Structure 1
Amino acid sequence: MSLVTGNEAARRQRQGTGQGAYTLRDLLIVASYHRRVMIAVFLVTVVGACVAAWFSPIRYEAEARLLVLFNAEQSGNQDLVERPSILSIDGLRATESEVDILRSRTLIREMVRKVGVQTLFPHLDGEGPLGFGKGEPEDQLVERATDLAEARFRITAQSGSNLVLVAFSHQDRAVAIRAVDELIRAYLARRGSIYANPRSPFLEQEAEKFRLQIDQLQRNLADAKAKYKVLNLEQEILLAVNQEDSIIQRRRHVMERREALRIEVANAQERLAKLPERVFDFTERTNRTDNDEARNARIKLQLERDQLRARYQDNHPRLQEIERQIKTLEQFQEKERPVYFADRTVRNPAIAFLTNHLIQIQLEEEATARQLEELERQREVARMRIAELREGEQVIGDLTRSLDVVDKLYRQARERAETAGLEEAAADERASNVRVVEYADAPARGSSQAANLVAAGLFGGLLLAAVAGLAAAWNRRVYLLPLEVERGLGLPVLATFNEAGGFVGGGAQEQMIYFVGRLLAGREDGQSLRSIQVVSSGETENREGFSRALATELAEGHGRRTLLVDLDRDGNGQAGALRAGDAVELGVDGIRAAPTRIPRLDVTVDAAGSTLGRMRTEVGELGSLIEGLAGRYDFVIVDAPATRNSFVALRLAPVVDGSILVVRAEHTRAPVAGNTRDQILDAGGDMLGAV
């Protein structure tokens, strides 16, 4: 019943081992926690299956039967004495060969082309995404439709007989019947081409040669038009001639303008030469100079006089001297002031105007010269284009005439080949050893997969819900069960309390009594416990309530003098909850405690601001304080602040007898709790366990 030591807790933490195994109750708890995810996955799967069942189309399966004849009479092979000959292959193997021919992709592709891709599979409409743009090419659509048709065909040989069943399922009964009939027709045609002795291959080859010649001539004609850059040869020639004529007319107009500009340049130069260079502007008479030394000296003396008057009286010697100098300068200016005369001439403005006009018409003359050069270049290009079109007219005309001749030959060869093909088809039908026993037909009432889809949805929903629950449990980062705490943290779970019932009453009271009994029993090494620190990783674990309930049980239930040290926040929360009285000095470094309404239980007041709550307090001094408090009380319970917000718990960890980690189900995150455990152990403290 004793507690493990700190070294044993560390060993469990490093090994990550736990005891016990999951029970059915534990699995139900985990499933209840993840019930929303599991129910959502189940409902989504079932709803999806129901929607698929609702939209599941009713399919009609059309069936046809073929009879394979493999005796000498039906095959048309007889010897000279009119006796049936012996077949070289077994009849059943011959039937399987016919089945393989019917299953060939070439026949199914031919059936798809005859029936139509949109008729068989309307969703393959050939349009782009959302109906915009250009979709897949026609050949690719046919290949996709062939893949779908192969999956819907059912072609089998009847067991022990020479009957072949050909079946095809589709939402439209008429389409299913037509698909089977078209496949049988394609099969009979292909079989006739395999076994018959055709007479039309030569004509087909000739027609193909003519077709290839037509394709080549068409490519040559397109290349010639692209080379000469024409669509309508006659219009291109007419446009080129008109363009050359337009260039000639424009060239004439430009030449006329250039001659007019030359005359204007000559006239402007002649007028400019006759104009005088400069003309009279104005006359000026003044006695003012820009830099008069006498005037400047008088101004300086007047400024100095004004400054001295602000500081001295008028009879000051310096002021009188300055007044004398100013009068002397004024008399000099009145007698000796000179008078200046100035006559001004300016450049003739008419010269500037004529010069600008001359420059403009000279520039325009140069522009017309360059324009004539450009028009000459365009005329040369037009002449070359006309010559090129004349050459192209001869080449394109020869190709067009050759194409007309080859096209007539191709039509004649094609008509002859089709006539020969019809004759050979009639002969092959008469000589065929495969008979259509029953043409395609389908029942009036189709079948649906709705029931199967619903059943599959229920089963798949249960399976996916279980997988979703396992995935959610695997990715969960909070604790739900005591067993998860033991396995995740390597710490024993000392007690378990129901969050709804709190720490008092019912099973919680029994858990607390059992837990306190283990504390009083001490460690496995026989060392008694006098000081215990209650820690948590965050503020949501209700650490304060557990510390209060533990101290209450020690004092009230076991009669031990207990001190509850409140270091969280301002250090007065526990005193307010326990309705503590007036605080008194304990004689231990100024720490004060107040009695509570519970006998033998005291609680500290303002302990967070004392030496115990200061981060700069030395570890040795903290140990002395804890020993001093343990000497006055039977038990010291330290309610330390959350490790996420404060390092006080780490400072006290090595000086108390052990630490207890409070874990709250569905709230405490496993990585944070593990980090708290590691911090306590790394600080030198012992972890007694978790609650």
Structure 2
Amino acid sequence: MNLVPVTRHATTQAEPFPPLPQAPPPDPSMSLTPRDILTTIFVRKKLIALAFVVPAAISIAAAAVLPVKWSAEGLLLVQVSREAAGASDLTGTGPTIVSVEMPKLVQSEVDMILSDVVLRRAVSSAPPGTFFPAAEPRLFGLLPAQEESIPAQAAKLRSALLVLSSNTSNLLRLSASLATPEQSIAALNAVLAAYMAHRQDIFVQGDSRLLLAETERMATALHELDDQIARLRAENRILDLPNDITVASARLASVTGRIDALRERKAITDSQLAAGRERLAQYPSRVVAEAETTNLAPNDTTRNELSQLILERRRMASQYAADWPPLRELDSRIATLRQNITAANRNRFETVREIRNPAINQLSLHMASLEVEAASTGRQMEALEAQQQEAQARASQLLQAEATLRDLTRRRDALEASYRQIAGRETGARIAEDAQRSRSPSVIVAQPPEAAAKPRDIRPALVAAGLFGAIVAAMASAILLTLFRRTFATTDEAERGLSLPGLASIPPRAKLDAGETIPPVTDLAAMLLDARASGERLSLVQFVATGKDDGRSAVALAVAAEIARARGLRTLLVDLETDGRAYMSAMGSHPVHEAKDPDKLLAFNTVIPNLWVAYEARDSVLGDPHAGIDRLRALLDRLRRELDVVVLVAPTAADSYAMRRLTAMVDVNLLALRAERTDKGVARAARNAVLAAGGRMVGFVMSSERRVLPRFLAKLVS
């Protein structure tokens, strides 16, 4: 059992791996390549196979149950006649048909053929079993057959009919597809007969009598509107309504403007009066004209005598001794004068002269003129307000009359236009009804219904469409799964997705323990030790967590064992996630409980020489956010002095301050990923957290990576 403490401050170091970037770009989006799509196909092959099988199975099942149909076809020729809304009538006053209206006419005939009225009429005119097989008894003949209703048979017949039209032709192509050729021909004949009969019923209607009654009613309404308009103009004294409204508006605007000007002037006068009264109350009746204050008495020459005596003393002091009697007498006189000046400074003489305040007279005269002006403005406003009320009443009356008159005029114009149109239509309808017996038909059967030589079988096309849809669905699902896949399946994807190099790729069945040598782990350990030998300070290596099952603990144990066994370096494994018991049990060591010291790490040796495992390292300074950075730096410096390599396993929740600080102070950080398990967002977040904390990120280790693509496909898309 060894007691090992440690730490050092993270300093700027040279790159241990020159080709690796120190600061990769933040979260680059992984581009979609053929290799990524193939990888997704082999990783999610069950879902993609399901996306292929479902459309294919649906198309094959539909083709198996779809019956064979026999078609019968006929042609209709649509012509322009007086029955068409746009055709020229016999009066010569109606509109003339143009080529653009012909498609509308043809489409109206198509809609009429497929209408419920025509189809129900066709079904009712034919005996049961003509179009569809007759209903059979139910329940093995115990119950009578249940006949379908007319609407149900009409809907079934509509699904069997097909009407085709073209914008460049007047022909309508009708086809019916039923179980036998005889049923198809019978159904098409019945539909054509019902359509012709229904058309005849529609266009044999007389509208002239109705139009005549409507014309007379409109003429009466026109006379009533004319009377209302004349009465309204007389009641409101309207000669020319626009000019009357303009004059009333101008008068109202003029009066309103004058009122606003007077109101503004009165407001100014009132505010001046209020301010004058307030100021007059504040002015005093008398003001001080002059005031003088001094501390000097009249004809006082004490200061002048003091200055002369001081000058005289300076002259005598330079010529006689200090104890000469006249000099002492001179000092006594100077002191006496200074005392007199001090006593005189305490006295003050003040003179004040007051006069009557001149501002009171000026302000009183100005306020008197303002009061006269305010009274005059008030009387003018009363007269103008009366004029404003009169102008407003006239304007309101004219506006109301204008609205009523506009409504009546609009109704009269619309009624007059309708009257003229109805009168013209009544004349044309009367002449058209007289000539109805001699009109030519507008729809002619150009080809009677005939059955097709071969049945219509769409089952091969349906199967082909289903297979094509299955291929498209499989490709679409592969692309979508590639775009939305949240895990890395290979090292190449992780390198492009994280902008970090892959330092080791460990197969899924490798046993990462201290007793087995794995080439990827050996290469990773050799890479770290070679960088250390080239001058890099790689004493502290940390495996950063990307999830609970990222395999970092097993990889860290294997790397530490490889370093201790292959190079004989003193190596310590520190797990900040657990207490380390699992490592000790695997390495044949048992912890002995002793007193804990947060500034030290309690480590136990293992069956491999030069390999120690830390016990309860998460309770030390390494995981304590309250510990100062000096204590942590001291622990890391001691670890660097007493050990060659320290392998740390970061906890899963590494977002605390202690973990971020430790990440910045270790020599190198490696991401631990697990193929097809580690989330891309979590991996990028872990990388960004290390870089944001100032840590050194050199790459990642991918565990449980299996060969996804076959060798020939991998070479093909590489």
Q: TM-score normalized by structure 2? A: 0.49
1:481-500 Cα offsets, whole Å, 9 max, x none, are 22332233332221111122
Given the alignment, which residue of 162, 178, 188 partners 2:186? Answer: 178
**1:456 Cα deviation after fit:** 1.2
Given the alignment, which residue of 467, 490, 505 partners 1:481? Answer: 490
The aligned residue for residue 305 of structure 1 is none
Given the alignment, which residue of 545, 556, 561 partners 2:565? Answer: 556
1:153, 1:113 → 2: CA distance?
17
1:255-309 Cα offsets, whole Å, 9 max, x none, are xxxxxxxxxxxxxxxxxxxxxxxxxxxxxxxxxxxxxxxxxxxxxxxxxxxxxxx
1:352-394 Cα offsets, whole Å, 9 max, x none, are xxxxxxxxxxxxxxxxxxxxxxxxxxxxxxxxxxxxxxxxxxx
2:19, 2:695 → 1: CA distance?
7
**1:575 Cα deviation after fit:** 2.0
Q: Report SS of the residue matched to 2:503.
A: coil
- How many residues are paired up? 425
Are residues 1:513 and 2:534 paired? no
Amino acid aligned to 1:455: A
For residues 668 and 680 of structure 1, do their structure 2 counterparts lie closer, same or farther at Cα, with a shift above 3 Å needed?
Answer: same
Amino acid aligned to 1:114: R
For residues 104 and 624 of structure 1, do their structure 2 counterparts lie closer, same or farther at Cα, with a shift above 3 Å needed?
Answer: same
The aligned residue for residue 696 of structure 2 is 686
1:472, 1:569 → 2: CA distance?
36
| Larger displacement relative to structure 2 (99-108 or 482-491) | 99-108
1:441, 1:548 → 2: CA distance?
87
1:490, 1:562 → 2: CA distance?
30
- Give the unaligned 5+ runs of structure 2: 1-13, 80-98, 133-149, 214-432, 702-718
Alpha-carbon contact 2:544-2:672 (below 8 Å) kept: yes
The aligned residue for residue 16 of structure 1 is 28
1:571, 1:648 → 2: CA distance?
19
**1:628 Cα deviation after fit:** 0.9
Q: Report SS of the residue matched to 2:518.
A: helix
Alpha-carbon contact 2:514-2:557 (below 8 Å) kept: no
Alpha-carbon contact 1:565-1:636 (below 8 Å) kept: yes
Given the alignment, which residue of 160, 163, 176 partners 1:168? Answer: 176
Q: Report SS of the residue matched to 1:555.
A: helix
Q: How does 1:38-117 map to 2 (within 5 A)?
A: 38-64=48-74, 100=106, 104-109=110-115, 111-116=118-123
CA RMSD of aligned residues (A): 5.3
Alpha-carbon contact 1:531-1:657 (below 8 Å) kept: yes
Are residues 1:539 and 2:548 paired? yes
1:22, 1:481 → 2: CA distance?
14
1:99-135 Cα offsets, whole Å, 9 max, x none, are 959964334436424224999999xxxxxxxxxxxxx
1:399-446 Cα offsets, whole Å, 9 max, x none, are xxxxxxxxxxxxxxxxxxxxxx9xx99x99xx9899868642435974
Given the alignment, which residue of 42, 45, 50 partners 1:32? Answer: 42
Q: How does 1:583-594 map to 2 (within 5 A)?
A: 589-594=599-604
Q: How does 1:210-609 map to 2 (within 5 A)?
A: 439-442=448-451, 446-503=455-512, 509-522=518-531, 527-580=536-589, 589-609=599-619
Alpha-carbon contact 2:623-2:659 (below 8 Å) kept: no
For residues 207 and 605 of structure 1, do their structure 2 counterparts lie closer, same or farther at Cα, with a shift above 3 Å needed?
Answer: closer
Are residues 1:621 and 2:631 paired? yes
Alpha-carbon contact 1:101-1:187 (below 8 Å) kept: no
Are residues 1:671 and 2:677 paired? no
Alpha-carbon contact 2:532-2:538 (below 8 Å) kept: yes
1:3-24 Cα offsets, whole Å, 9 max, x none, are 4589944x31426378x98564
1:111, 1:503 → 2: CA distance?
82
Alpha-carbon contact 2:70-2:184 (below 8 Å) kept: yes
Alpha-carbon contact 2:27-2:497 (below 8 Å) kept: no
Q: Does 1 or 2 have the higher relative contact order (CA < 8 Å, sep 6+)? A: 2
1:690, 1:23 → 2: CA distance?
24
Alpha-carbon contact 2:26-2:688 (below 8 Å) kept: no
1:161-210 Cα offsets, whole Å, 9 max, x none, are x998643334565553234224544676799999xxx9x766x9789999
Alpha-carbon contact 2:20-2:501 (below 8 Å) kept: no
Amino acid aligned to 2:119: V
1:503, 1:488 → 2: CA distance?
26
Q: Report SS of the residue matched to 2:468.
A: helix
Amino acid aligned to 1:533: Q
For residues 4 and 175 of structure 1, do their structure 2 counterparts lie closer, same or farther at Cα, with a shift above 3 Å needed?
Answer: farther
Amino acid aligned to 2:111: R
Alpha-carbon contact 1:60-1:447 (below 8 Å) kept: yes
Given the alignment, which residue of 641, 654, 657 partners 2:664? Answer: 654
1:456, 1:466 → 2: CA distance?
15
Amino acid aligned to 1:180: L
Amino acid aligned to 2:547: G
Alpha-carbon contact 1:63-1:440 (below 8 Å) kept: yes
**1:652 Cα deviation after fit:** 1.5
For residues 626 and 64 of structure 1, do their structure 2 counterparts lie closer, same or farther at Cα, with a shift above 3 Å needed?
Answer: same
2:19, 2:615 → 1: CA distance?
30
Alpha-carbon contact 1:537-1:643 (below 8 Å) kept: no
Q: How does 1:624-643 map to 2 (within 5 A)?
A: 624-643=634-653
2:466, 2:655 → 1: CA distance?
50
1:575-624 Cα offsets, whole Å, 9 max, x none, are 22222377899999442322222232222233333333433222332222
Alpha-carbon contact 1:563-1:603 (below 8 Å) kept: yes
1:592, 1:62 → 2: CA distance?
96
Alpha-carbon contact 1:156-1:166 (below 8 Å) kept: no
Amino acid aligned to 2:613: V
Alpha-carbon contact 1:46-1:454 (below 8 Å) kept: yes
Alpha-carbon contact 1:551-1:637 (below 8 Å) kept: yes
| Larger displacement relative to structure 2 (635-644 or 654-663) | 635-644
The aligned residue for residue 258 of structure 2 is none
Q: Percent identity?
A: 27
| Larger displacement relative to structure 2 (596-605 or 453-462) | 596-605
Q: Report SS of the residue matched to 1:548.
A: helix
For residues 163 and 628 of structure 1, do their structure 2 counterparts lie closer, same or farther at Cα, with a shift above 3 Å needed?
Answer: closer
Alpha-carbon contact 2:525-2:563 (below 8 Å) kept: yes
Amino acid aligned to 1:535: V
